[in-house]
Amino acid sequence: MRNYKGISAQDFFMLAENRFMNSKSFYEEKKELIKQKIILPMRALTLDLNEFVLGVDGEIYTNPVHQVSKVRRDTRFSVDKSLYRENLWVGFSRYKKEFPLAPSFWLEIFQNGYTCGIGFFYSTPHLMEIYRKEILANKSKFGKIIKSLEKLGIETYGDTYKKSKAGDVPPALAPYYNKKNVGFFKFTQGLADIESETFVDKIIEIYKEFVPMYKFLLTVSEKEITDRINAGGM
């Protein structure tokens, strides 16, 4: 039995209204309703998805309270000083203090749809150097993973180097090879899916397609850790 029972699109719109008002008093008035109608269901969704992601990677940190983003924005380092967000996300990654560069599964719900995907939220030049080495050492394997994702309409994120990095990489893989950071996601238009408990199954089916790439990126991050240990960096 699923913990998640759905979030109505109308209830989710409360986040947009709250962001528009941008008022602490307005938020305090709506806070409990937002918690009951949106935050708690998001945590229930996370509980259901945790079962799947732990089957992929048993090191993933699971605590729904911490995995669901907050409504209140941290504006200390942001040009946008809006107090509240109108979107919410959940993340599934290893404990950051021990695995700071591990890839993540994630799901983000916007007012017009949702995205789910995997990737590095933070990278270093050395991490991406290892990533490129892994591609060169496993061209066929990486190419098959990419083809599978492309058939599903998966998009990629991350800045690309203006000058191509050295390496005998096939042209079809070059856009993924020359990345400063990398991740993959699928966007679904509309919020009809989130209103049913079957939303869990829809996300799991997409996540299944990401598993081979997640494991590829996980190998990259684990080799980066090994390099740092050997260099006396941990």
Chain-wide mean pLDDT for the chain? 94
pLDDT digits (tens, 9 = 90+) for 33-77: 999 999 999 999 999 999 999 999 999 999 999 999 999 988 777
Determine which helix (DSSP H) or strand (DSSP E) holds 45, and give its type and residue range.
helix 40-56
Tell me which amino acid residue 162 is. K
Q: What is the pTM for the complete model shown?
A: 0.93
- pLDDT per residue as tens digits for the range 104-127: 999 999 999 999 999 999 899 999
CATH classification code of 9-230:
3.30.930.20
Average pLDDT, integer, range 115-143: 96
For the stretch 79-105, pLDDT in tens is 878 899 999 999 999 998 899 999 999
C-alpha 206: how far from chain center: 12
| HEC profile of 167-206 | CCCCHHHHHHHCECCCEEEEEEECCHHHHCCCHHHHHHHH
Determine contact, residues 4/45, Cβ cutoff 8 Å: yes
Task: Report the pLDDT averaged over residues 135-162.
Answer: 94
Where is pLDDT greater, at 230 or 168? 168
Q: How far apart are CA 231 and CA 234, in angstroms?
A: 8
The domain segmentation of the chain, as residue ranges, is: 9-230
Q: Given this model, what pLDDT does residue 234 score?
A: 59
